[in-house]
Structure 1
Amino acid sequence: MEFDEGAADPEPTHEQMTLIAGLTEKDVSEIDACILSCVSTRWSKVAKVVADSMFQMPERIEGIPDVYYAQRVWRFVEQGVLEHQGFLGQMRYCEVRRQIKET
């Protein structure tokens, strides 16, 4: 999987950071639950997971950027809930899936 190291996903703007800071624990939990509902044991592009999650949010909070959703996905990778392949800094060039438990 090829990626352009110079084209990492942008950081949220100051205005977006203000909106993100205003999210409640309930908001974040709902976003996280929606993200996890969009991930299976099959590889999916992070960009698709993010887009599907944003679309499926019942009462989407306006102004919360896609990169915030991607950061939540990356947190699940760090926690070992999801596994990834590719470059986490670019949602178009990274894929995730639920951890497959070996028996």
Structure 2
Amino acid sequence: MEHFDQYEPEDGQPDSEALSRIADLSLNQIQAMDAALLAAADIRWRKVAFLVATAMNGPAHVPGIPDVYYAQRVRALVANGSLAAQGFLSRMRYSEVRIAGGGESGNYSI
């Protein structure tokens, strides 16, 4: 399997200001973000970056919440079985997801 370290680093971590805003998110806001991510998903594979961009441009977006947090929510949706994944989930441009139950679950690494 090819290593992408030479091309692009893993997605970054939120800075301290963003972490503070993330900590202030309500359960309803997080659920709305998850719903927006799931609404952007399909039974066909889609780039995680596409889901993140779609959710961030929708009504569930909370100003000051970075894209890497949305990517973390995608990983949580994969972990709970809502989405299937393939690729490198720690790099949103190098991973794809689809609605779970659409066949084979795919291969991914974090």
- How many angstroms does 1:100 deviate by? 2.5
Gaps spanning 5+ residues in structure 1: where?
none
Q: Aligned to 1:41, what secondary structure does the other structure show?
A: coil
TM-score normalised according to structure 2 size: 0.84
Gaps spanning 5+ residues in structure 2: where?
104-110
Q: 1:93 to 1:27 in 2, by over 3 A?
A: same
Q: Aligned to 1:97, what secondary structure does the other structure show?
A: strand
- How many angstroms does 1:61 deviate by? 1.5
Q: Aligned to 1:10, what secondary structure does the other structure show?
A: coil
Moved runs in structure 1, 4+ residues, more than 6 A? none
**Is the CA contact (8 Å cut-off) linking 1:83 and 1:98 kept in structure 2?**
yes
TM-score normalised according to structure 1 size: 0.90
Q: Number of residue pairs matched?
A: 101
Aligned Cα RMSD in Å?
1.7
- State the partner residue of 2:96: 95
In 1, Cα distance between equivalents of 2:60 and 2:100: 29
- The 5-angstrom pairing of residues 12-23 of structure 1 reads 12-23=14-25
